[in-house]
Amino acid sequence: MRKFNHSIASIASMTATAGARDFLSLSEEKRFSADILQAMSALTCLAAAQVYGILNPSQSAVMGLLYLIGILIVGIPTTITAVRGFLREELCSSMEILVTIAMLVSVLDGRYAVAILIPLLLALVHFLEEKSIVGGRDAIEGLKKMQSDTAIRLENGVQAEVPAGDLSAGDVILVKPGMGFPIDGKVLAGESSVNQQSLTGEALPCDVKPGDSVYAGTLNMQGVLTVEVEKTCQDTSFHKIVKILEEVEKSATPESRMADRFMAYYIPLILAAAVLVWLFTRQADRALAILVVSCPCGHMLVSSAPLIASLGAAARRGVLIKNAEFIENLARVDAVFFDKTGTLTSGEIVLRQCVPAEGVSEETLYGTALSAARHSAHPVSKAIASRADMPYMPDEPDFTVTERAGMGLVGLRGEETILLGSEALLSSFGVRLPEGAGAAEIAAAATSVHVVRNGRFLGTLVFSDALRGDAPRMIAALKRLGIKETCLLTGDKSGAAERIREACAIDAVRAQILPEQKQQIVREARNHRRVAFVGDGINDTLALSEADVGIAVAGAGSDTAIQSADIVLTGSCLDNIPFVIGLARRTRELIRQNIAIAFLSSLVLISLAACGVVTALSGAVLHNAGAFIVLLNSARGRTSGGI
């Protein structure tokens, strides 16, 4: 998307975009003010010349002087921009070049009023494009305002309001209800609900308590929170997201680059057409009309308008697209590969089944395991302690527990010894696992631990990673979109992976593989497919970078995901995967439609101008029809319905 450095462009636009001034730099505001002043001055000269000509038809010199002043006011800045663009071979200056030529032809043909009105009427399209650009900035600047620029810092119990930029890691701040979080940090005290919609796209507030993380750009809804700063303003995930959006605003898709390449031949073709029409008809007004209607107004909007509309729709769903090029790549994806843990599953271990040994009750097995697990903070121990459907066992204060790294727990109380862990832990105490004990359940489990008390094997606890509720629905939606292949890649056991595959109706599964093997599988699949890989952005960096498009399913504040993936889903909703693929396809289709609309409308108007149906002045108005249609067509990308 180009930024304009012309003077007459956007002449009338700023009166209609006064509300967007907060999103403009000081230099842009000065330029727009100058544009308005130039336009009003030129129109004043034109009106004065017309009135003077009516009142004093014999005073042609004065009338000509007024026309000349008006022409110079609008002509000099436009000509400078055109010459600069021509010398630098800037394709985005093609409009100014054609307008300058049309003005010169008008002056040579004695059409002084036309020479003033053409650039003024053509400025309308620049208003439309500036509205498109400012609209994108509105969204970005609106996001920036969600990150509070001040903070209440606590120093020795004293509250002091300071600029957020002065905060450093380790500082302690107070965040009151209704205040935005200026930084990423951890809650030290207080409980509240936090609106994270700006990061995740999820409307429901998230409850936080001491120990939970909070992120810049989110809003404290209820209680007073004491927060320890973990990152400075410039290092927050929210700040990085805004920077990425600013880069995306400047990027272009392959289709728009194709249009830009065509523009290199556009001016010579138009000039040749105008010359041929003049040679055959000997009517300069027809050649002038061709120059006017051929100004590439709609061409400048073919990609920027749908891109901004689609990026806005994605942002509302908590989807961060890091580069416009990935929209094209994603639109062509026909295979989607998934990581399991943290992607299709919640990443939280849950106790799925107790498999007692012969002669042992399930309550005895669970109670023995709980007596050791309640003294440990290991995720497996927490899963045992949180099993809601098992009877609560009373605390045993005399019980002491020792953790064996990578093996499990050893619990001691007097002469009683409890082992809770892997087969290797049992072997180190001379305990052998009974033949076939819980073999089928263990084979299907992602994790399993054995329980032994005083040398007697009591049974096995089987754990699994909970499947996300929307995972099957997401896979079904991908298949409706025409995705030809889905595959699950995981380092877990084949039994656990197969259970997820069956639950989600995934086409294939590759289990017990390493991260580098995931990368190799994705690389091989790219020989015959356009592959998107979906991971949690933490241990899937190799596969995310290898795929045609890497999609990270990450919670708010995941810097790893932001850096390693092409597209980041900042919320937990897996439905956003088919949504963003459909959005990419819709955006690509809109851009292609816009290219056809822009060039066909120009071709029709050029033909009408050559036949004398469209004059220069009417053409200056009519040729904006293509730009209007492009904008209306692009607006369809603002809604997610049907995508």
pLDDT in tens, 590-624: 888 888 888 888 888 888 988 888 887 777 777 76
pLDDT tier at 488 (50, 70, 90 boundaries)?
very high
Residue 478: CB partners within 8 Å, gap ≥ 6? 336, 486, 577, 578, 581
Which helix (H) or strand (E) segment holds residue 471: the answer is helix 471-480
Domain range list for the chain? 13-143+244-310+584-638, 149-235, 347-467
Residue 513 and residue 520: Cα distance in Å, rounded?
Answer: 10
Interatomic CA distance for residues 83 and 78, integer angstroms? 9
Q: Between 112-146 and 284-293, two packed helices, what is the crossing angle to 10 degrees?
A: 0
Q: Look at residue 121 and tell me whether its pLDDT is greater than 80.
A: no
- pLDDT, tens digit (0-9, with 9 covering 90-100), for 241-283: 666 655 655 555 555 555 556 666 777 888 888 889 888 888 8
472 pLDDT higher than 90: yes
CA of 445: how far to CAs of 354, 460, 467, 500, in Å? 12, 11, 13, 11
Fold observed for domain 149-235: 2.70.150
How does residue 22 score in pLDDT terms, banded at 50, 70 and 90?
A: very low
Of residues 241 and 63, more confidence is placed in 63
Give the pLDDT confidence score for residue 99 in this predicted structure.
Answer: 79
How many Cβ atoms sit within 10 Å of the Cβ of residue 395? 10
Which of 344-353, 442-451, 627-636 has the largest mean confidence? 344-353
How many Cβ atoms sit within 10 Å of the Cβ of residue 381?
23
- Select from 340, 403, 383 the least CA-distant residue to 543: 340
Better-predicted residue by pLDDT, 218 or 5: 218
Between CA 78 and CA 88 the distance in angstroms is 15
Pick the CATH number of 347-467 from 3.40.50.300, 3.40.50.720, 3.40.1110.10, 1.10.3720.10: 3.40.1110.10
CA 372 centroid distance within chain: 46
Catalytic residues: 339
Whole-angstrom distance between the N-terminal and C-terminal Cα of the chain?
24
Mean pLDDT of the chain: 76
CA–CA distance, 93 with 81 (Å, rounded to integer): 7
How many CB atoms are located within 10 Å of the residue 436 CB?
8
d(CA 233, CA 509): 42
Between strands 549-553 and 567-569, the pairing is parallel
State both tokens at 91: 């394709």
| Contact (CB, 8 A) for 98 and 270 | yes
Tell me what the mean pLDDT of segment 49-53 comes to. 83
Higher pLDDT residue, 285 or 95? 285
Question: Cβ contacts of residue 178 below 8 Å, gap of 6+?
Answer: 219, 220, 221
Instruction: Check whether 387 has a pLDDT greater than 80.
Output: no
The position carrying tokens 């730099």 is 25
In this structure, the strands spanning 213-214 and 185-189 are antiparallel
The DSSP code sequence of 156-206 is TTEEEEEEGGG--TT-EEEE-TTPBP-S-EEEEE--EEEE-HHHH---S-E
